[in-house]
């Protein structure tokens, strides 16, 4: 069922699927909730899934001004406060993963478990930093899909693409120490051929307290669609099971020995 909610200056579109504990899916940049079609049904069998679309994406109209990660984070926090009304699990891909990470840092009370798929924390981790963002190429590739659902119409898509291009030119930049503020149980997931380096992925895994790491083999930044069966299995295992006591902990043994005692 599709609904709208006013989140500050944005009228946010979202759908709800399934029953159970709340889970919010946060799509990547320049796409919309349809991107999660290969993943939605398995998740909705276990959770009450919300699929909000951010400003200028999907069914949610664009608004005046730039699109920044902080503005999208503010919109998402407002959505969680007003619609979910309490903590939920967050699963984000790409830009959605970065937004989910900022929510977990800034409003830890709103996040139970956190799944960050293919979203780095700083531009220094880009795997192909010299590749230019081509607005015309993106418009040609994604414009028709945008026009199918956007209230602004396909003709507005170049405006949104230019805003995202500016965002990508300047962000993200988060001090790695900020990741240490995340208190939610977290899964960091990347492909083995992603838009950020594996070194960056491991640095992110190391920086988030108690995080778990998954690298999906033989995939790219679009791993949720390329191997949905494997991505879904990893996400569901993380969200529905408690951590197992490992036989030979090394990293986690060190974390436990240095964690503050109650």
Q: What is the pLDDT of residue 93?
A: 98
Bond prior to 180 in cis (omega within 30° of 0): no
| Domain spanning 2-258: CATH 3.50.30.60 | no
Cβ atoms 125, 150 nearer than 8 A: no
Averages of pLDDT over each 10 residues, the chain, 262 residues? 94 98 98 98 98 98 98 98 97 98 98 98 96 95 98 98 96 97 98 98 97 98 98 98 94 73 51
Number of H helices, E strands in the chain: 9, 8
- In the prediction, which pLDDT does 253 show? 86
Q: Which helix (H) or strand (E) holds 206?
A: helix 198-207
> Which are the contacts of 1, defined by CB distance < 8 A and separation ≥ 6?
15, 16
Domain assignments of the chain as residue spans, ordered by start: 2-258
Q: What is the reported pLDDT for 99?
A: 98
Q: Which of 27, 38, 10 is nearest to 230 (CA)?
A: 38
pTM summary value: 0.96
């Amino acid at each position: 069922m599709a609904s709208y909610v006013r989140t500050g200056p944005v009228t946010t579109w979202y759908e709800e699927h399934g029953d159970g504990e709340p889970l919010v899916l946060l799509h990547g940049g320049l796409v919309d909730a349809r991107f999660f079609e290969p993943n939605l049904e398995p998740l909705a069998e276990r959770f009450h899934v919300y699929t909000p679309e951010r400003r200028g994406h999907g069914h949610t109209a664009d608004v005046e001004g730039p699109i920044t990660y902080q503005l999208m984070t503010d919109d998402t926090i407002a959505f969680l406060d007003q619609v979910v009304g309490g903590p939920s699990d967050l699963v984000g891909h790409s830009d959605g993963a970065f937004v989910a990470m900022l929510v977990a840092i800034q409003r830890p009370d709103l996040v139970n478990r956190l799944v960050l798929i293919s979203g780095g924390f700083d531009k220094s981790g880009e795997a192909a930093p010299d590749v230019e963002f081509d607005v015309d190429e993106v418009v040609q590739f994604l414009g028709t899909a945008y026009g199918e659902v956007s209230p602004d119409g396909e003709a507005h898509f170049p405006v949104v693409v230019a805003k995202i291009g500016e965002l990508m030119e300047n962000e993200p930049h988060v001090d790695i120490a900020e990741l240490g503020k995340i208190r939610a149980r977290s899964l960091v997931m990347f492909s083995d051929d992603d838009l950020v380096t594996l070194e960056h992925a491991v640095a992110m895994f190391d920086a988030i307290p108690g995080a778990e790491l998954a690298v999906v083999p033989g995939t790219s930044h679009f791993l949720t669609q390329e191997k949905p069966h494997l991505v879904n299995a990893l996400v569901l295992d993380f969200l529905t099971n408690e951590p197992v006591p490992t036989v030979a902990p090394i990293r986690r043994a060190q974390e436990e020995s240095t964690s503050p005692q109650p």
